[in-house]
Each structure stands twice: as structure tokens, then as C-alpha cells.
């Protein structure tokens, strides 16, 4: 079994260096393609958030991409009924009844994206509707399906769906549980 490698999306570097890049501005720029992350916030009263939201997604070949503090990046406002950009003015993301798009450059996935998790850090609530990762430039078959949430996210934990590791059994479909842990420096137990 192959161990998952985490690629952190924090700007700088290309896929060969094991990093994704969130790109501000219009259009996907850079070598070798890119894509976007689309996230909807529902219209329920109190659904918006100003807290930090992180994103983690990956493909069936164990490529794990982590985007910390997604709401500090440039965001585009989309029409909820059509995939058309309404404006490209920097704005606060994750407001009620809005669909936001974050652009990613570099092409690091080798197989279809099959899991997506969101993490809310802070004190207020947030109720996302759906999220999707799109891969552009001729590789749209690697894009994810829609991941539906439609509930308030629990705070300080990864919450989402994993459609990668599933097994058909006589009792139905069995999903393997994915556990993400922080790496902590080991301290001796006794002085």
C-alpha cells in the first residue's frame, strides 16, 4: 500500500516540486495546466463564515493536496445556475447564497479526484452547499464530482466524503475510513 504524500497549496513552485499554487487574478496561468475549486455557501440564515476554511482533496493514486486558509486567497463570484464568472473583484468568500471559485495552477493529479474534505477553524458556523475540484486543459476527466454538504460543519475537524477506497460486499458498499493526523515532535515521557 502506497503512503499518501501531502502537497501544500501555499503559492510558489510547480507540481514537480510537490506543490500546488493558488493563483490570484484572471484565468489559469502557468506551465502545464491547472484548475479551480468551486464552493457554494447555502442561503440558510447564519450560513456564512469569516473563519478560516481549509480544503483537502486527492485522487485515486494517493496524491493528497492541502490548501490552508482558503478564505485568505483571491476569490471569484460565480452565477449559481451557470458556470459563468459574474465578476473578478476581490471579495470576502463564504457569504450566504454565494458560489465562490478559487483558481489553482499546476497539474498534480494523475487519476480522478475522489475525495474532498473541508475544515472550519473558528467560533462561528458555516453551512456549505457543495464543493467541486475542476481540472482544466484537456484533463477534465480528472475533475471531481460534486461533494454535497448542506449541513453546518463541525469545527476543528476534517469533514467530507471519500469515494476512493470502497469495496462492494454482500451487505452493501464498505468505505475505508481515512484518518488525518498532525505530525508532532516526539518528547520523552520521563525526564
Domain boundaries, the chain: 5-165
Global pTM reads 0.70
Q: Kindly report, residue by residue over 92-150, the tens digit of the pLDDT.
A: 889 898 888 887 654 467 788 889 999 999 898 999 999 999 887 677 788 888 999 99
CATH of span 5-165? 2.60.60.20
Residues 41/178/181/60 CA torsion (nearest 10 deg)? -80
Determine the pLDDT at residue 120.
94
Per-residue confidence band for 6, with pLDDT thresholds at 50, 70 and 90: very low
Per-residue confidence band for 156, with pLDDT thresholds at 50, 70 and 90: very high
Q: Kindly report, residue by residue over 31-90, the tens digit of the pLDDT.
A: 344 678 889 999 998 899 989 999 888 887 777 888 888 876 656 666 665 555 556 666
Amino acid at each position: 500500500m502506497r503512503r499518501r504524500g501531502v502537497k501544500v497549496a501555499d503559492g510558489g513552485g510547480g507540481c514537480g516540486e510537490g506543490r500546488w499554487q493558488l493563483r490570484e487574478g484572471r484565468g489559469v496561468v502557468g506551465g502545464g495546466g491547472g484548475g479551480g475549486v468551486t464552493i457554494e455557501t447555502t442561503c440558510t440564515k447564519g450560513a456564512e463564515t469569516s473563519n478560516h476554511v481549509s480544503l483537502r482533496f486527492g485522487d485515486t493514486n494517493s496524491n493528497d493536496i492541502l490548501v490552508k486558509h482558503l478564505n485568505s486567497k483571491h476569490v471569484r463570484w460565480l452565477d449559481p445556475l451557470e458556470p459563468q464568472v459574474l465578476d473578478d473583484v476581490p471579495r470576502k468568500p463564504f457569504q450566504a447564497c454565494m458560489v465562490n471559485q478559487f483558481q489553482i495552477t499546476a497539474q498534480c493529479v494523475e487519476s480522478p479526484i475522489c475525495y474532498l474534505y473541508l475544515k472550519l477553524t473558528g467560533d462561528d458556523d458555516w453551512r456549505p452547499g457543495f464543493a467541486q475540484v475542476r481540472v482544466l486543459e484537456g484533463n477534465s476527466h480528472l475533475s471531481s464530482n460534486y461533494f454535497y454538504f448542506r449541513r453546518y460543519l463541525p469545527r476543528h475537524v476534517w469533514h467530507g466524503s471519500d469515494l476512493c477506497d470502497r469495496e462492494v460486499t454482500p451487505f452493501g458498499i464498505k468505505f475505508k475510513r481515512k484518518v488525518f493526523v498532525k505530525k508532532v515532535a516526539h518528547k520523552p515521557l520521563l525526564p
